[in-house]
Amino acid sequence: MRNSLPEEEVMDGRRHEPVLRGELLEATAPKEGERWIDGTFGFGGHATALLERGCLVLAMDRDPEAAQRADLLRKDWGDRFRFIPGNFAAMAEVAGEAGWESVDGVLLDLGISSGQLDDPSRGFSFRWDAPLDMRMDPSGMRTAGDLLHELDEADLARLFAVATYPGESRRLARAVVRARGARRLQTTGDLVAAIGAARPSRKRIHPATRAFLALRMAVNDELGSLERALPAALRLLGPGGRLAVISFHSEEDRRVKQFLREHVRREPAARSGVEEKHSPMEGFVRQARFLPSKEEIVRNPRSRSARLRVGWKESRRDG
Ligand SMILES: C[S@@+](CC[C@H](N)C(=O)[O-])C[C@H]1O[C@@H](n2cnc3c(N)ncnc32)[C@H](O)[C@@H]1O
């Protein structure tokens, strides 16, 4: 079996180590011939793991660079692998066009890859002075710089509140409004300078970390995409289907947890006294959470905030 995406073929030497790979495979037990949607192809690590298990994989990513890496995988795996560029929120339409009425598994590994974070030109990180862009899909949407200049102070505070502490978001918004009054914020360095003045920098986490995360999530409407994708995945999953979501941010994890809990089938009325909310095939029969091992966190420190949540559907139609 060939090993897809060898290091020398990865663009610019940038890579991404798939997080919670072992836990994902153990929890979801992908089988030969199963149909899986990987909504967040990235560097193809998880997709390769599914292909190695004999699955058919329909992969998506909204970053055009991912399409180039997907070409390499297609050479190795032929018809078992397809890549469609776009937002995973549209997975139902994409699956329908591919002739997949139902699937056995859906994987979402949220956020951005190490490769995107480490690309100085994308503006995702404040380690380099780069244009304030932060778009995963560089076509059509507003950049981070546009948002920082278009939103009023109250909306900026709401934007920052997604990833910052109460009070901190209002301070950040005020600092941005003050700085942009003097001149346009054009680079990541401009933003760091603006908010550096807003918060003390003695803390262990760089003051800009949470502000950059909140801005990236807003630029890419990450929570909105997730909220559209979860019900679409639930509808697409056939009997025995598994939904697996890896998140790195508490707000994302909270939404996934709530969704899974809301859609876990209730006990039959006779036992619980509560009317059954879903027909057997609409909901999950159980859900669980998995965390990275200490070894993985040491090997790949970026995995430390990762959470995997899995929902399993009933495996027989007559449930
Ligand atoms: C954490 S990386 C995934 C890494 C991948 N699992 C691997 O093993 O290489 C997340 C990827 O999902 C993509 N992405 C994030 N949100 C998306 C969305 N709503 N629709 C499609 N792709 C998305 C990003 O562009 C990025 O390439």
DSSP-assigned letters across all residues of 215-246: HHHHHTTHHHHHHHHHHHHHHHEEEEEEEEEE
- Which residues have C-beta within 8 Å of that of residue 21, sequence separation ≥ 6? 45, 46, 49
* Residues 173/156, Cβ–Cβ less than 8 Å: yes
The protein residue whose alpha carbon is closest to atom 3 in ligand 1 is: 42
Tens of pLDDT along 148-185?
999 999 999 999 999 988 789 999 999 999 999 999 99
pLDDT digits (tens, 9 = 90+) for 55-104: 999 999 999 999 999 999 999 999 999 999 999 999 999 999 999 999 99
In terms of DSSP bridges, do strands 81-85 and 56-61 run parallel, antiparallel, or are they unpaired?
parallel
**Residues whose CB falls within 8 Å of the CB of residue 22, separated by 6 or more in sequence, listed in order:** none
Ligand 1 pocket, residue 46 CB under 6 Å: yes
Q: Is the CB of 40 under 6 A from ligand 1?
A: yes
Query: Is the CB–ligand 1 distance for residue 21 below 6 Å?
Result: no
Cα–Cα dist 186/170, whole Å: 21
What tokens appear for 196 in the block? 């550096």
Domains and CATH numbers, the chain: 7-115+222-313 (3.40.50.150), 142-219 (1.10.150.170)
Question: Considering all CA atoms of the chain, what is the largest pairwise distance in Å, rounded to the nearest integer?
Answer: 68
Which of the four pLDDT bands, split at 50, 70 and 90, describes residue 196? confident
pLDDT at residue 265 in the model: 79
Q: Which residue has the tokens 């986490």?
A: 205
